Amino acid sequence: MSEKRRLGKGLGALIPEAVNGSVETGEIPLEQIQPNPLQPRQDFNDDRLQELAASIKEHGVLQAVVVSPTGEGGYFLVAGERRCRAAKVAGLHSIPAVIKPMDRKTMLEIALIENLQREDLNPVEEARAYRRLMQEYDYTQEELASRIGKSRPSIANSMRLLSLSNEVLTMLSKGEITAGQARPLLAISDPPEQHKAAKKILEEGLSARDAEKITAKISMRSGKRRKQENYPIQDPLRIELETQIQRSLGTKVRLKEGKNGGTIEIYYYSEEDLERLIAKILPEGI
């Protein structure tokens, strides 16, 4: 069975010993469990936490959390932070756990996979988790896709979002706009214009398709301004071509005319953004 298919089936695929009963299991005092320092999830919904706490009071903890010994008599929580938090709210003093020694890399992978399977991460948390795995453990997008059971384009599209301005990322984290609404904004290179467009999307409740339309208009206006600055005679075809390339690549693009041809400038704003562009231009790899 391939690694990609194994990991897609759940945490038991990452720690098959838990299924076979060869790892330690038992009740762990909640006070001995430390939060996972590699937890990709930062936002926890209070209402959903209270609902889970009420369920735990009624039925108990139905699924064990996963912990790893710290080496100092305690445990790092690898998977199940929401269950731990809810258990404390419900007044429990201990929680059933699977105890499995593991390295930092595996801890991050399992925490990411659990959150992805439960759809608990917001788009920014998800993208940052992918970036962390790639930066700290030298994964390529292809390798990461195989490890966590996602497609490479899905990971690339997720990480593209990190090129958005901080203001737009905050709106995305809060759920004020969706990833589908935010992605077209990547074609707007000016951060204030990008934020302005994001607020328009929020205030008017625009769909992802509508977001693409207003982004195209803003990109067109920006393109025309640049042409007025750089070219005495505007070429509508060049302006339109530049705009279309920007929309396709999701980044700033400039066409420059020379005596015998010209150049195409493609802008990127981070190493992740560069990798995304390379993957888009060279889908078969280098």
Q: What would you report as the CA-atom Rg of the chain, rounded to the nearest whole angstrom?
A: 23
The pair of structure tokens assigned to 222 is: 């920006």
* Alpha-carbon 20 to chain mean position: 32
Amino acid code (one letter) for 84: C
Distance CA 143, CA 171 (A): 30
**Around Cβ 211, how many Cβ atoms within 10 Å?**
23
d(CA 159, CA 136): 15
Annotated catalytic residue, options 24, 58, 81, 176: 81
Indicate if 81 belongs to the active site.
Answer: yes
Check: CB of residue 255 under 8 Å from CB of residue 262: yes
**Angstrom distance (rounded) from CA 214 to CA 244:** 14
Q: Tokens for 89, please give them.
A: 């709210």
Give catalytic residues, as residue numbers: 81
